[in-house]
Amino acid sequence: MKKKIALALAGLMMLGLVGCAAAPAAAPAAAPAAAEETEEAAEEAEEAAEAVEEAVEEVAEEAAAEDAEGFTTVQEGYLTMGTNAYFPPYEFYEGDSIVGIDAEIAAAIAEKLGLELKIEDMEFDSIITAVTTGKVDMGLAGMTVTEDRKKNVNFSESYATGVQVVIVPEDSDIASIDDLEGKMIGVQLGTTGDIYCSGDYGEENVEQFNKGNDAVMALMTGKVDCVVIDNEPAKSYVAANEGLKILDTEYVVEEYAAAISKENEPLLAAIDAALAELKADGTLDAIVAKYIPAEAE
């Protein structure tokens, strides 16, 4: 953009020089015809200068518009979000459409950026790669900010807090985190629950499932002794399945944020600005309250 302006300015300056040079050359001719010609030439030069000036203005306006947006998206006019839609109340299917806190926050961000939202459902484990390879603009999936993930993607400001909790059958002998040693733990593949449990209790004691639901089903059928997962999905799973409970003790407290390509800093800035506005005007709270009524005081 700057280059274009510079070129246009150079053009303008050249015309200016030509105009100056043409006038003295024609001036010595005293004949009326010559005077007319001189006048004509001057007019022409003036017109040309005006045209260049207009062009410069146009280019500058274009540049300003681009600066206001400043970012590009995977598909023009769209904000493409990658998620794993088996994570209520953040993202889940209602019929054929994906709804939930993240889906609504993304829609609100897209609106602020003048874009239309497009949601791509994928394995949780694939979201970061989808962001880094430019398949999606942002990962929004109740995704925890971790130092390891930060090596691959940029994270927006946090928009929610998550807590890793333990789901057990109501009659389980697991009473607290300290009883997990030697138990079979179900997790969703690639989540922080998976990462922490594999580290703390050994991979041989962790069974990974593609979806949180699958881990909970395994718990229902006794294939695992407990499931470690984020607190809000845990609440929905326990509400939807008889005979399960959540342990009182919190395993890990975390922050959720949007993951964006390191190559798209302007988009990160735009999303952060949109999030700040949504926080300030109460939209974010209203969305959360809609899906987590208990927190709406």
- Does position 120 interact with ligand ARG (CB under 6 A)? The reply is no
Nearest to 189 by CA among 161, 218, 156: 218
User: Measured from the CB atom, is 37 or 250 closer to ligand ARG?
Assistant: 250
Tokens of 9: 């300015």
Contact (CB, 8 A) for 164 and 251: yes
- Cβ 164 to ligand ARG shortest distance, Å: 8
| DSSP single-letter state for residue 116 | E
Q: Which of 83, 154, 236, 283: binder of ligand ARG (CB under 6 A)?
A: 83
User: Measured from the CB atom, is 162 or 283 closer to ligand ARG?
Assistant: 162
- Does position 141 interact with ligand ARG (CB under 6 A)? The reply is yes
Question: How far is C-alpha 155 from the geometric centre of its chain's CA atoms?
Answer: 8
The label of the residue with tokens 């999030």 reads 275
Q: Which of 144, 154, 213, 261: binder of ligand ARG (CB under 6 A)?
A: 144
- Does position 192 interact with ligand ARG (CB under 6 A)? The reply is yes
Tokens of 39: 């006048």
Contact (CB, 8 A) for 194 and 188: yes
Q: Rounded CA gap, 118 and 103, in Å?
A: 10
Q: Residue 90: what are its φ and ψ, rounded to 5°?
A: -75, -45
User: Measured from the CB atom, is 120 or 230 closer to ligand ARG?
Assistant: 230
Q: Which of residues 212-251 bind ligand ARG (CB under 6 A)?
A: 230
Q: Which of 82, 88, 139, 162: binder of ligand ARG (CB under 6 A)?
A: 162
Q: Rounded CA gap, 235 and 229, in Å?
A: 10
- Does position 137 interact with ligand ARG (CB under 6 A)? The reply is no
Angstrom CA distances, 102 to 74, 88, 110, 114, 135, stand at: 19, 10, 12, 18, 18
User: Measured from the CB atom, is 71 or 124 closer to ligand ARG?
Assistant: 124
User: Measured from the CB atom, is 77 or 97 closer to ligand ARG?
Assistant: 97
| DSSP single-letter state for residue 77 | T
User: Measured from the CB atom, is 142 or 186 closer to ligand ARG?
Assistant: 142
- Cβ 65 to ligand ARG shortest distance, Å: 35
Q: Which of 15, 79, 106, 143: binder of ligand ARG (CB under 6 A)?
A: 143
Nearest to 269 by CA among 107, 138, 140: 138
- Does position 196 interact with ligand ARG (CB under 6 A)? The reply is no
Q: Rule CB under 6 A: which residues touch ligand ARG?
A: 83-84, 86-87, 91, 124, 141-144, 162, 188, 191-192, 230
